[in-house]
Each structure stands twice: as structure tokens, then as C-alpha cells.
Amino acid sequence: MVRSGVVVADIGTDHAYLPSYLVMSGKIPRAIACDLRQMPLENARETVERYNISDKIELRLSDGLDAVKPNEVQDIIIAGMGGTLTAQILERAQWLKDSGIRLILQPMTHAEDVRAFLCENGFEILKESACEDEGRVYISICAEFTGCKKKYPAGYEFYGELDRTDDLSQRFVKKQYVRIKKRADSLRAAGIKEDEAEYCEAACNGIERFLERE
């Protein structure tokens, strides 16, 4: 999902494996690799020194995008964090609405928080994909600000632009369905949080349509 030839910011880079791969494969010329903590940045330093690419990957201590300036980068990656934290990081950086910025997001949990943030703030999801590693399905979301004010169907935040004909996407969304259905059922059984129960039920109906594949 990263565009060729752009400068990338990798937020929460840890070992800087992803920006290192992008630079070494020739896909991008440079990257800014950021992390909240010093220890991961030391891991990142080891990686870029080992591969002799310290001149192409700048390491920065940064809470989210705080240490990245508008106009420094074109593509921004936030991978391997929870969806709630990912959405909070995006919310703090209003300049992401500048034209030409692309977001590549790989939330580990609560991807619905990321999609809800994007949809409510004028970002459009251009593409999503699912992949599997050691039995676990991971998803990536590619988005850009377009100012779009589309009305999305109920449950959209649980499947977004995943390909309904793809088995891994189906597996991922089915897992979300089970989680939300369980939540709805337990709220109904306890007779509490009527609004949330209604929200979960409407989402389940929407997700069922996605899972029908047609």
C-alpha cells in the first residue's frame, strides 16, 4: 500500500524492520522511524546500522506524530498498535487532512475504532487487505482525506473495504461478528445499556450481509 518513491513516517517502528525493508527494496528513498520509547529506538538503531542505511532512516523519539512536521512525509504507517490508540494518534494530527497524505494502518485490535474515526472525519478508505501469519489474520487499511461525507451502512466499521470474496477477510469479519453478537446478547440478558445493545444488533445485521458474500 506504500507508494513508490515517497518519504514515509513509520509510527511505533520498534525494530524499524518495515521502513528498512522499504528502503532496501528500493521502494522508497527515505523514512522517518518514530517510537514513543527509547528502547525500541535503540532496536531501530541496531537494525539500520546493521544494514548500513542510517543515512536513509532518521530515528525520532515521538508520541504518535508529534515529532513529524507537515510536508516532511507523504505516506504514514501506523502498524502493530491497538485500533483505539491508532485512532487517538490520528485525531491529534489535524495536518493529516493536507492533500497528498496517505495513511497505511494495521490495527491489532478494534479496527472498528480506526474505521469509525476515518469515516467520521472525512477520510476515505481506498483499499483494505487481509493476510495470515502463524494462524492469525491481520488486516491493513489504506486511507486518504477526501472530505467525503458518505453515509455508511450499519456495521461498516467492522468490515470496511475488505474483499467479501476473500476467505481471510471472511474469517476476520466472522470473528468480529461473534464478538459483537456476544456483546449484544449479554447486554440484552442483563437488561442494561439499551443503546449499545441496539448498536451491536444493527452492526450484526450489517455484518451478516457482508458475510453472505453477495
The reply on whether position 82 binds ligand SAM by CB under 6 A is no
Residue 81 is a binding residue for ligand SAM (CB under 6 A) = yes
Binding mask 132-171 for ligand SAM (x = CB under 6 A): ----------------------------------------
Residue 177 per-residue DSSP state: H
Shortest Cβ 200–ligand SAM spacing (Å)? 28
Asked if 142 and 104 count as a contact pair (C-beta separation under 8 A), the reply is yes
Point out which span in 30-38, 113-121, 123-131, 160-168 binds ligand SAM (CB under 6 A): 30-38
Cβ neighbors of 107 (< 8 A, separation 6 or more) are: 81, 82, 83, 86, 113, 114, 139, 141
Distances (CA, A) of 49 to 6, 14, 43, 53: 22, 14, 10, 6
- Cβ distance to ligand SAM smaller for residue 90 or 180: 90
Measured N-to-C along each axis, helices 167-190 and 194-211 cross at an angle, to the nearest 10 degrees, of 150
CA-based nearest residue to 173, from 202, 132, 130: 130
Nearest-approach distance from CB 131 to ligand SAM, in angstroms: 13
- Shortest gap between Cβ of 36 and ligand SAM (angstroms)? 4
From candidates 80, 124, 138, 202, binder to ligand SAM by CB under 6 A: 80
Tally of CA atoms within 13 A in the half-sphere of 180 that contains its CB: 27
DSSP 53: -
- Pick the closer one to ligand SAM by CB: 62 or 169: 62
Binding of residue 12 to ligand SAM (CB under 6 A): yes
- Residues within window 34-53 making contact with ligand SAM, judged by CB under 6 A: 34-37, 40
In 3-state terms, what secondary structure has residue 196? helix
Q: Which residues bind ligand SAM (CB under 6 A)?
A: 11-14, 34-37, 40, 62-64, 79-81, 89
